[in-house]
């Protein structure tokens, strides 16, 4: 049995962003990493621009304008993919400034993608554990995620951290982790 990989989260600097982009283009499906943009499948100018813009905006963190934070997932010191937290229930910056907190303010959504070469090695579960710790330290009370029902690997990783899985719309599964703050 091989030893477990050393997994860490790293802030997305410009240098890390370029490493993430290279990994995404070489070792991940565009639909796993970006929304469908531009003409045709695959990596195109619009998807690459979206990728860079998304990670730059998420660099501001959970309390920034996007209410979102992304990290590079490192496996044994190499960029392996990306994971994020996004607050739910907050007004967007164009909807005004202050408003009362709601129950949704204590919830964040997470999502992860890993390069194919880093899958099925425990990297996703370790990264999700690190993001759960970040969520708890940020005062969040629950974490939600969604994946394709056919994505057994993601479903196993989510269940391994105590997520309650339920069928969602259109062949998806929704996961909820109560953080117990």
Q: Tens digit of pLDDT per residue, the chain (181 long)?
A: 567 889 999 999 999 999 999 999 999 988 888 888 877 778 888 999 999 999 999 988 998 888 999 999 999 999 999 999 999 864 444 333 333 334 456 899 999 999 999 998 999 999 999 999 999 999 999 999 999 999 998 999 999 999 999 998 889 999 999 998 5
Total domains, the chain? 1
Closest CA to 139 of 96, 101, 98, 93: 101
Domain that holds residue 79: 7-178
The answer to the question of residue 152 being in a domain is yes
Query: Is residue 133 in some structural domain?
Result: yes
Contact by Cβ (8 Å): 108, 62: yes
> Could you tell me the sign of the dihedral formed by the alpha carbons of 47, 48, 52, 53, in that order?
negative
Entry pTM: 0.86
Q: Which two tokens stand for residue 85?
A: 């937290």
Whether 120 maps to a domain, the answer reads: yes
pLDDT given at position 181: 59
HEC string of 141-163 equals CEEEEEEECCCHHHHHHHHHCCC
* Whole-number pLDDT of residue 95: 38
Task: Indicate which CATH number applies to the domain containing 40.
Answer: 3.40.630.30
- 157 in a structural domain: yes
Give a yes or no: residue 83 inside a domain: yes
**Is 2 a member of any domain?**
no
The number of beta carbons lying within 10 Å of the beta carbon of residue 72 is 23
Is 116 inside any structural domain?
yes
Please give the backbone phi and psi of residue 62, each rounded to the nearest 5 degrees, phi first.
-60, -25
- Asked whether residue 1 is domain-assigned, the answer is no
């Amino acid at each position: 049995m091989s030893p477990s990989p050393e997994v860490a989260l790293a802030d997305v600097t410009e240098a890390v962003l370029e490493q993430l982009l290279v990994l995404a283009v070489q070792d991940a499906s565009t639909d796993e990493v970006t929304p469908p943009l531009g003409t045709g499948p695959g990596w195109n100018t619009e998807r690459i621009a979206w990728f860079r813009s998304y990670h730059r905006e998420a660099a501001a963190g959970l309390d920034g304008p996007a209410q979102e934070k992304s990290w590079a997932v490192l496996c044994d010191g190499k960029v392996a993919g990306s994971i994020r937290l996004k607050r739910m229930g907050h007004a967007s910056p164009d909807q005004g400034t202050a408003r009362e907190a709601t129950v949704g303010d204590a919830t964040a959504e997470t999502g992860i993608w890993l390069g194919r070469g880093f899958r099925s090695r425990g990297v996703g579960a370790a990264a999700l554990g690190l993001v759960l710790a970040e969520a708890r330290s940020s005062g969040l009370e629950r974490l939600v995620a969604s994946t394709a029902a056919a994505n057994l690997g993601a479903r196993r990783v989510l269940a391994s951290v105590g997520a309650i899985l339920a069928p969602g719309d259109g062949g998806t599964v929704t996961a909820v982790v109560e953080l117990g703050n």
